[in-house]
Amino acid sequence: MKTAILKTPLGLAEVRGDENGISEIKILEEEKEFTPNIPEVLLPAILQLNEYFEGKRKNFSLKLNPSGTSFQRKVWKALQEIPFGKTWSYQELSRQLGDVKAIRAVASANGKNPLWIVIPCHRVIGSDGSLTGYAGGLHRKKWLLEHENPPLQQSLF
């Protein structure tokens, strides 16, 4: 398993993967050494994440290999259907998966997403529009949602 540390506007991120795909992208709370020489297998992920933060990328095209149960993988696949700049509620996500009563299980799988940003769990909000739990912290969730959907400049005239 190869690892690289990436500097982002939200702190350091750790990217892990191998020839089978990217298995983990997570925000780090502790300081680690930035990776000057990126392993070749991780280059596409690093490039695409940088493009995302620069506002040049809305979708990712990476080979993914997250570890999880079949239900978790089903939820993570559905998360990838949420369009850039849009949000879904946990209820909408549950409905999309075919079981509106599975909100808690869906929320749990959402919280275990190992691929920060690439599988956009930050796009899931409460039914009332509130920002609900986010493993990376609500301040990061707010930043990501604003990055993807910046407020329109109001006309002064």
Q: Which CATH number does the domain housing residue 128 bear? A: 1.10.10.10
Which amino acid makes up residue 129? G
The pTM assigned to this predicted structure is 0.89
pLDDT value at residue 93: 94
Q: Is 117 left (phi over 0), alpha (psi -120 to 50) or beta?
A: left
Q: Are residues 140 and 78 in the same domain?
A: yes
CA distances, 142 to each of 9, 58, 67, 121, 148 (Å): 13, 17, 26, 12, 10
Share of the chain above pLDDT 90, in %: 78
* pLDDT tens figures, 60-74: 999 999 999 999 999
Catalytic residues: 121
Range of the domain at 126: 70-148
CATH number, domain of 14, equals 3.30.160
Number of domains in the chain: 2
Q: What value does the mean pLDDT of the chain take? A: 92
Q: Is residue 155 predicted with pLDDT exceeding 70?
A: no
Q: Is residue 157 predicted with pLDDT exceeding 60?
A: no
